[in-house]
Amino acid sequence: MSPDPLLSSGRLGNPQTWNRYAYGLNNPLRIVDPTGLWDWDQSAGGDLSDDDLQGLANDKHNKRHKWAQNALNFRDEFRNALDSADEAAGSSTLSDDQQSAAQAGVDAYGKEGDSTGVTVGFQSGHGGSTILNNNDTISVMFDSSLKGDFLTVTVAHEGAHVDQANAWLNGGENSIGDLSHYAREQAAWAVGSSIAQALGMKSLAPHGGGGDLQVWSKRWAAADIATKRAKGIQNVLNYMRDTSSDADMRATFTSEHHHKDQ
């Protein structure tokens, strides 16, 4: 009944995004467009405004001045990465399906500062992580060392997980959104691969991963992209399944989490 407030989600290359009243690109079975708009985690300044953080950063006698400067730096890097991912999602180098999936991940963050359950911050190590908390809020954290295109890709990857979590929260127990860990990671790596392709990155693989774990390479022939992307993602998932932290790739949202009111 009301228009989508996120005007930046309109893409010249995808007419479905021009209608501000349409829901989920007119594809609600695949795409959920929640109102979940992000706030900053404490690591990124929490409820403090940019001006508040700048004031702390400028006060060299304040013990928190370095923390404030780091928070400001991350805010700028995340905003730029989200804008870059949004632009890449509409790239003509991607198929319609790739564009839709990538755009859903970008849009899942929504707009800044509306206190609706998604927090964004940074930490040391681990690339990126998205956690669906017991109170139905979603925490997204990024490795503080991620920069440029690699941060952009990771923002899109984790955005896919935010979109998945919101789909399950909206759909309920055992709904179409009750994806296994395996399915969630498969879709998120596909989104990251698409964004890497649109950005023209040389290659993309998990940190330290070899050629067999590449989910994107600029050297791939056009006719081989789909096959090699699928093989790379499968190898990444196999690798994740062999690590202790991701041992149970069959686990669904319902088996891992219950709504706060249940």
Q: Which pLDDT band, with edges at 50, 70 and 90, does 35 fall under?
A: very low
Q: What Cα–Cα distance (Å) separates residue 78 from each residue in 112, 144, 168, 186?
A: 11, 10, 25, 23
Q: Which residue has the higher pLDDT, 109 or 114?
A: 109
pLDDT tens digits, 87-105: 999 999 999 999 999 999 9
Could you identify the residue written with the tokens 């991350």?
Answer: 74
What is the number of helices (H) and of strands (E) in the chain?
A: 7, 6
Structure tokens at 196: 């890497």
pLDDT average, residue stretch 26-50: 71
Helix H or strand E encompassing 232: helix 225-241
pLDDT at 4: 55
Buried b (16+ CB within 10 A) or exposed e, 186-196: bbbbbbbbbbb
pLDDT tens digits, 129-171: 999 998 889 999 999 999 999 999 999 999 999 999 999 988 8
pLDDT tens digits, 179-226: 999 999 999 999 999 999 999 999 999 876 778 999 999 999 999 999
Q: Which pLDDT band, with edges at 50, 70 and 90, does 247 fall under?
A: low
Q: Where are the beta strands (DSSP E) in 144-202?
A: none
pLDDT average, residue stretch 96-121: 90
pLDDT tens digits, 52-89: 999 999 999 999 999 999 999 999 999 999 999 999 99
Q: What Cα–Cα distance (Å) separates residue 257 from each residue in 16, 134, 253, 262?
A: 34, 7, 6, 10
Distance CA 191, CA 89 (A): 9
pLDDT at 11: 46
pLDDT > 70: what percent of the chain? 81
Pairing mode, strands 203-204 and 138-143: unpaired
Q: How far does Cα 197 stand from its chain's mean position?
A: 16
The one-letter amino acid at 101: A
Contacts 24+ apart (CB under 8 A), 68-77: 70/122, 70/144, 71/40, 71/43, 71/44, 71/45, 72/45, 74/43, 74/44, 74/121, 74/122, 74/142, 74/144, 75/40, 75/44, 75/45, 75/50, 77/147, 77/151
Kindly report which listed range (34-38, 226-230, 245-249) carries the lowest average pLDDT score: 34-38
Could you identify the residue written with the tokens 């202790």?
Answer: 244
pLDDT > 90: what percent of the chain? 63
pLDDT at 240: 84
**Closest C-alpha among 122, 118, 115, 147 to residue 71:** 122
Q: Where are the beta strands (DSSP E) in the chain?
A: 38-40, 118-123, 128-132, 138-143, 203-204, 216-217
pLDDT at 174: 73
Could you identify the residue written with the tokens 């695949």?
Answer: 30
Q: Which pLDDT band, with edges at 50, 70 and 90, does 248 fall under?
A: confident
- Is the predicted pLDDT of residue 250 greater than 60, yes or no? yes
pLDDT at 27: 52
Could you tell me the maximum CA-CA distance found in the chain, to the nearest angstrom? 60
Average pLDDT of the chain, as a whole number: 85
